[in-house]
Amino acid sequence: MIKIKVFIFASALAFGLSSCCGDTQQHSEDHQHGATVVTDTTVHYAKEVHLANIKQLTAGGDNAEAYFSFDNSMIVFQAKVHKWGSECDQIYYFPFADGDMIDVQPKLLSEGLGRTTCSYFMPGDTTVLYASTRSGSAACPPEPEKRADGKYVWPIYADFDIYVANLKGEIVDTLVSGPGYDAEATVSAQGDKVVFTSDRSGDLELYTCDIDGSNVKQITFGVGYDGGAFFSPDGTKLVFRSSRPQTEAEIAEYRNLLSQGLVMPTNMEIYTCNVDGSDLKQITKLGKANWAPFFHPSGEKIIFSSNHAGERGYEFNLFMINTDGTGLKQITFDPIFDAFPMFSYDGKKLIFASNRNNGGTRNTNLFIADWVE
């Protein structure tokens, strides 16, 4: 699914690095074939002045897309962790009062059926929505085969529908379904609206619906992929990532891939619009992949992940920008991968996924920090 695939792309390219990032740096050393391999074990880089008291929440596997409950006491996220028994991405939730996921396994919500993604708490914090391919098969769907041209693509599984489950993991509603891809749903802070991505029009566009799944409305219409949308704190605007081909050749390639259930994620920019789709604006013009946006609590800035400043293509860090496209500022400084930021509803915390302190493995873990203005 699209929200997680860039993170898998980065993880697949990740490797242990030797670097010097200030006095918070620590290293562990392994000896292989007589050589010393130095592994970066930094949790908090010195330049990360907007983050304090960073805590690592998981240790091993692929963990990402963690989102707070409305009361900020829990998170729901997707993970593929061998020791938890997940063969492909599954949905878990964890109350902070339970301690630490490094020691305590979180609750599986998605029942291990199909591939799942894009979970989000519903109003009241007793249910969670997520997308799943379970209607097509209980098994994990196959990954796309490696392309002869070497280009990296994401699968758009047609079996993805959006479900609502209680905290026992029991499905209580099918919120959005139909032929084709329906996924990437998030909920407004007011608890009245849902935004999601669907290809029901023949293209990957944004749609909104009421919290019960009714009143579905298409709100984007440009050729290309629009997805990963989130509401502004006041519920009046949306921020999302978009890959909009411009030339005839780019459009032809996009449509050809989409006909095969695939999308190429290498060029994306951040956009905003009103919740009805009006006042569409391109916020970033940075090139490469700019994605995973989320509104700052003020509603006047956007935090997002980008590799535009990297030299090797897979160096993703968190950046912040004003909603008018000015004031770009780097927030995180991990040499491999930081993404999927979300502010808590009270604006005091930031949760994100990172390859930092993974022992030189490809593991992506969850981290939480106090936000410092």
Q: What is the pLDDT of residue 38?
A: 62
Strand-strand pairing, 161-166 and 127-132 = antiparallel
Domain 2-371 CATH class label: mainly beta
Contact residues for 294 (Cβ-Cβ < 8 A; gap 6+): 230, 239, 302, 303, 304, 341, 342, 343
Tens digit of each residue's pLDDT (9 = 90 or more) over 106-116: 999 999 999 99
Percent residues over pLDDT 70 in the chain:
90
Rounded CA-CA distance 312/319 in Å is 18
The CA distances from residue 313 to 99, 267, 287, 337, in Å, are 36, 11, 11, 11
Side chain identity, residue 38: V
The helix (H) or strand (E) run that includes residue 271 is: strand 269-274
Mean pLDDT of 236-250: 97
The alpha carbon of residue 202 and the mean position of all alpha carbons in its chain are separated, in whole angstroms, by 24
What mean pLDDT is reported for the chain?
90
Output the pTM of the full model: 0.91
User: What mean pLDDT is predicted for residues 42-61?
Assistant: 97
Domain ranges of the chain: 2-371
Q: What does the pLDDT read at residue 150?
A: 82
Q: How far apart are CA 243 and CA 250, in angstroms?
A: 11
Neighbour-count burial of 3, counting CB atoms closer than 10 A to its CB (0-12 exposed, 13-18 middle, 19+ buried): buried
